[in-house]
Amino acid sequence: MIVHMRIDNRLIHGQVTVTWVSSLGADHLMVVNDEVADDPIQKTMLPMAARGVKTSVLSIEDAVRHCKEALDKEKIMIIAKFPSDALALLEKGIEPKEINVGNQAPLPGTKYKMVTKSIAVTPDDARIYRRINELYHLTSQMIPSDSKKDFIKLIEDKGL
């Protein structure tokens, strides 16, 4: 079961390992991004950052395959690096209980607007987020104890 999908380009950090994993009861963290999955250093370091939680660093295709095989055996929290990764997973049949935009640090050379103090969104990102929202209600929530905010309203309020 996919208990949660978080879009967060910082990947694994304290908010994820300390608050999200325990709040969700997740027993498997899955980082999903094709480039990260091809990087041997990140594949080694990210599980170390997970503080003992079972962690996989997978391409989109491998993540889809694993989720379909492990459907009732694990409580999976997916961390999609970018909104495009999250959309690709959804379009390939992944069905998380909920989707949350966590952190999106600005990428150098992009024309972004800060939607919150930790979420940068480009016009292309905004289009992808809207497409995701057609499939699942998209929220923003830094930690589980924060109230959920309607993410599409946040980007609309910034003119995106």
- Give whole-number Cα distances, 22 to 19, 87, 127, 131, in Å: 6, 25, 32, 29
Cα–Cα distance measured from residue 143 to residue 139, given in angstroms and rounded to the nearest whole number: 12
* DSSP state letters, 127-156: HHHHHHHHHS-EEE-SSTTSPPEEHHHHHH
Tokens of 127: 């289009």
Tokens of 22: 């325990």
Total length of the chain: 160
Q: Strand 76-80 relative to strand 113-116: parallel, antiparallel, unpaired?
A: unpaired
The CA-CA-CA angle for residues 136, 7, 103, to 5°, reads 130
Q: Which of 13, 28, 66, 137 is catalytic?
A: 13
Q: Is 13 a catalytic residue?
A: yes
Q: Which residues are catalytic?
A: 13
